[in-house]
Structure 1
Amino acid sequence: MGFLELFLIALGLAMDAFAVAVCKGLGMRRATPRKMVLVGLYFGLFQAGMPLVGYFVGVQFSSAIRSVDHWIAFGLLSVIGVNMLKEAVKGCAGCSECDAAGTGADLSVRSMTALAVATSIDALAVGVGFAFLNTPILPAAACIGIVAFFLSMLGVKIGNLFGAKFKSKAEIAGGLILILMGVKILLEHLDVL
């Protein structure tokens, strides 16, 4: 897997964190650099850590299912992408569902940890896929974490400035990117590309 593919997967995975960061920004009176970095760190660290966990779980099973690993990677990325598209279509009127989940301006450890885990579950599944594809995990996890960090910071600022209109567009873009990357992996392993 090349850097461009890895970057696109990282971008797709970061869209959930970006969308929640937009909601965080909506709930803030002022998005200070400290608050933006704090949100970025939570999402970036969890987005980087979950693929590591998924990778080490996947390595335990990769030799047993080597012949279908590309199908598994395709399935995982496609399911994650389709779920992101469904969430985008459901919408978030004024981020009321975000506020109901307690994501407003609350930056407590409890709230941020829960959100960081929730938005990084997809990265766990991608880490399993990386194990099947023999992707070097440390550079992949670092790329995913860095992209999530910066997009989360940007999401807080955008939410604070412009509101929720970018949230569903980000989820749609992320979902489509993940589905396309899954298709690309499958086609490469089937020697179509």
Structure 2
Amino acid sequence: MLEIILISVGLAMDCFAVSIVGGASAAGTGNPTATKTKVINALKVGFFFGIFQALMPLIGWYIGSGFKDLIEKAGHWVAFGFLCVIGIKMIYEAVKQRGEKRKMDLVTLPALLILSIITSIDALLVGVSFSLLNISLYLSITIIGIFSFVFSVSGYFIGDRVGQFLKNNVGIAGGIIIIGIGIKIL
């Protein structure tokens, strides 16, 4: 169970980082209804990211299950490899984007769909890894979805306050957590 929680936190870091940037981009509009709008936007972002983060491991699990006989002997190594690649990718992207000023309108439907898919690619690969392990799939995807929702909503509000300071460091933390889980699987 602890492993699933740590994986959930690691996966939610991408959502958290994107939500911080989205919240920071939306800050300072001067709109008198800004508080209500921020709450609605934060919930919208959390909903999309949470749903996609929960569905992608399910899809990945079905993909991995189809090839289970082919990779069963090397399952732990495959899971380790996937998780390390995901973690390194997260760290690389966070470091690569340092210093970039990004503006985005996170709450439009096209932006939410694109960003939800992009941030959940890692979750798809984690789902493939899950197919190689003895875990409770539905409990795991529920926990992943809840963590992603909470981290996304929180990130949006944090981004409104201090997003420019934190935006890249959370990706590094998420990458380190995912790599650590990969090492533990060995």
Q: Match for residue 173 of structure 2?
A: 173
CA contact (8 A) 2:45 2:106 kept: no
Q: Match for residue 122 of structure 2?
A: 122
Q: Secondary structure at the match of 2:67?
A: helix
Pair 174,134 (structure 1): closer, same or farther in 2 beyond 3 Å = same
Q: Which runs of 5 or more residues in structure 1 are unaligned?
A: 187-193
Q: Match for residue 113 of structure 1?
A: 113
Please, which moves more after superposition, 46-55 or 61-70?
61-70
Q: Counterparts of 1:1-193 in structure 2 under 5 Å?
A: 3-28=1-26, 29=29, 30=34, 32-93=38-99, 95-96=101-102, 99=103, 104-186=104-186
Q: What fraction of aligned residue pairs are identical, expressed as a percent?
A: 42
Task: Quote the Cα distance in structure 1 between the aligned partners of 2:106 and 2:180.
Answer: 35
CA contact (8 A) 2:95 2:168 kept: yes
Query: 1:54, CA displacement in angstroms?
Result: 0.2
Task: Quote the Cα distance in structure 2 between the aligned partners of 1:107 and 1:19.
Answer: 15
Query: 1:81, CA displacement in angstroms?
Result: 0.3
- TM-score by length of structure 2 reads 0.91
Query: 1:106, CA displacement in angstroms?
Result: 4.2
Runs in 1 of length 4+ with deviation above 4 angstroms? none
Task: Quote the Cα distance in structure 2 between the aligned partners of 1:26 and 1:133.
Answer: 39
The residue type equivalent to 1:15 in the other structure is: M
> How many pairs align?
178
Q: Which runs of 5 or more residues in structure 2 are unaligned?
A: none
Task: Quote the Cα distance in structure 1 between the aligned partners of 2:90 and 2:118.
Answer: 13
Query: 1:178, CA displacement in angstroms?
Result: 0.4
Aligned residues: CA RMSD: 1.3
The superposition leaves residues 20-72 of structure 1 with CA deviations (integer Å, 9 ceiling, x where unpaired) of 10111012134621111100001000000000000001011112221100000
Please, which moves more after superposition, 14-23 or 85-94?
85-94
CA contact (8 A) 1:94 1:164 kept: no
CA contact (8 A) 2:105 2:111 kept: no
CA contact (8 A) 2:42 2:153 kept: yes
The residue type equivalent to 2:66 in the other structure is: Q
Pair 95,4 (structure 1): closer, same or farther in 2 beyond 3 Å = farther
Task: Quote the Cα distance in structure 1 between the aligned partners of 2:100 and 2:16.
Answer: 16
Task: Quote the Cα distance in structure 1 between the aligned partners of 2:138 and 2:47.
Answer: 18
Query: 1:90, CA displacement in angstroms?
Result: 1.5
- TM-score by length of structure 1 reads 0.88
The residue type equivalent to 2:185 in the other structure is: I
CA contact (8 A) 1:46 1:120 kept: yes
CA contact (8 A) 1:17 1:148 kept: yes
The residue type equivalent to 2:63 in the other structure is: V
